[in-house]
C-alpha cells in the first residue's frame, strides 16, 4: 500500500494555470476505459437490431450448412461477443451466425441475465456458425460442430466480475450453474461443460466434455427438424 501511495503522489493530478494571484486547477486526463467498458458504452448509443428470417439448419452440426442465417449483433442487453482464439472484442462478424431460433434464444438469455443478475459480468458469447455454415477450418480456431447454426459457445462467468477468459480456478460456480439451468429451461437440447467444473443438469442434456473447462457449449434444437 505504501508503494501505491508514493506512486500516486508522483502522478500529476492537476496543473497550475494563470499568473500570480490567479490559481486554477486543470483536471488530469481521464483513464482510457477497458475494452469491455468501451463496448458497453457503444451498446448504449448504437440501436440494438436483429434482422430475423426463416432459417434452415441443413445436415448435422458436425457436417452441415446454414441457409437463411441470422446474425447476432456484436453486443446487446446482458451479453457481449468475443473471439475465442484471441479474446478480442467483439467477435468477428463472420462467426456470429445462427438459426433464427438460436439467435432469439441468445437474445432472450441476455435479457434475462441482465434483469436477474444486474451486478454480474455480462454473458460472453463466442463462436456460433459461419454465415452459410460449414467448417470454420483451422486446428485451433476451428470446431468439429458449429456447422449448421445450432451451436454457440459461452464464457464461464468469473467470480471477480471481470468479463474475460475463465477457467476452473476463476469461474463463479453459482452464477455458472444458474446459466446452465437457464439454458435447460429455455429448451437447450445439449449443454456441454468441462469435466473439471462442478456443474450439473438433466442427464442426456447436460454433461462433461473434454476441452470445455473454459466455456459452455450450448445447442438448441433445429426448429424445422432438418438438422440435429
Going by the DSSP 8-state scheme, the letter that residue 47 receives in this structure is: P
Distances (CA, A) of 162 to 1, 36, 196: 23, 9, 21
Q: Where are the beta strands (DSSP E) in 4-84?
A: 16-17, 24-25, 56-60, 63-67, 70-71, 75-76, 79-81
Write the pLDDT tens digit of every residue in 137-183: 754 455 889 999 999 999 999 999 999 999 999 999 999 999 999 99
Question: In the predicted model, is pLDDT for residue 132 greater than 60?
Answer: yes
What integer pLDDT is reported at residue 9 of this predicted model? Answer: 35
CB atoms within 10 A of CB 201: 16
Omega of the bond leading into 31 within 30 degrees of 0 (cis): no
For residues 178 and 189, give the distance between their C-alpha atoms in angstroms, rounded to a whole number: 17
Helices (H) and strands (E) in the chain, counts: 4, 13
Q: pTM to 2 decimals?
A: 0.79
Write the pLDDT tens digit of every residue in 191-218: 999 999 999 999 999 999 999 999 999 9
For residues 135 and 153, give the distance between their C-alpha atoms in angstroms, rounded to a whole number: 15
Question: In the predicted model, is pLDDT for residue 37 greater than 80?
Answer: no
Going by the DSSP 8-state scheme, the letter that residue 94 receives in this structure is: G
Confidence of residue 11 (pLDDT cuts 50, 70, 90): very low
Amino acid at each position: 500500500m505504501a508503494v501505491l501511495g508514493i506512486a500516486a503522489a508522483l502522478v500529476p493530478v492537476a496543473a497550475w494555470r494563470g499568473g500570480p494571484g490567479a490559481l486554477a486547477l486543470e483536471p488530469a486526463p481521464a483513464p482510457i476505459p477497458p475494452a469491455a467498458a468501451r463496448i458497453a458504452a457503444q451498446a448504449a448509443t448504437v440501436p440494438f437490431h436483429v434482422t430475423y428470417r426463416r432459417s434452415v439448419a441443413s445436415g448435422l452440426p458436425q457436417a452441415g450448412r446454414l441457409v437463411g442465417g441470422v446474425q447476432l449483433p456484436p453486443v446487446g442487453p446482458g451479453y457481449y461477443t468475443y473471439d475465442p482464439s484471441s479474446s478480442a472484442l467483439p467477435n468477428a462478424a463472420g462467426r456470429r451466425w445462427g438459426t433464427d431460433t438460436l439467435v432469439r434464444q441468445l437474445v432472450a438469455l441476455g435479457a434475462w441475465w441482465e434483469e436477474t443478475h444486474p451486478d454480474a459480468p455480462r454473458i460472453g458469447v463466442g463462436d456460433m456458425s459461419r454465415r452459410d455454415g460449414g467448417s470454420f477450418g483451422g486446428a485451433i480456431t476451428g470446431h468439429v460442430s458449429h456447422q449448421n447454426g445450432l451451436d454457440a459457445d459461452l464464457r464461464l462467468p468469473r467470480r471477480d466480475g471481470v468479463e474475460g477468459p475463465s477457467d476452473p480456478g476463476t469461474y463463479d460456480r453459482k452464477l455458472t450453474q444458474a446459466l446452465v439451468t437457464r439454458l435447460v429451461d429455455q429448451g437447450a437440447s445439449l449443454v456441454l461443460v468441462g469435466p473439471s467444473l462442478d456443474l450439473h443438469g438433466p442427464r442426456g442434456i447436460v454433461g462433461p466434455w473434454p476441452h470445455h473447462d473454459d466455456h459452455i457449449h450450448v445447442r438448441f434444437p433445429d426448429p424445422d427438424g432438418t438438422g440435429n
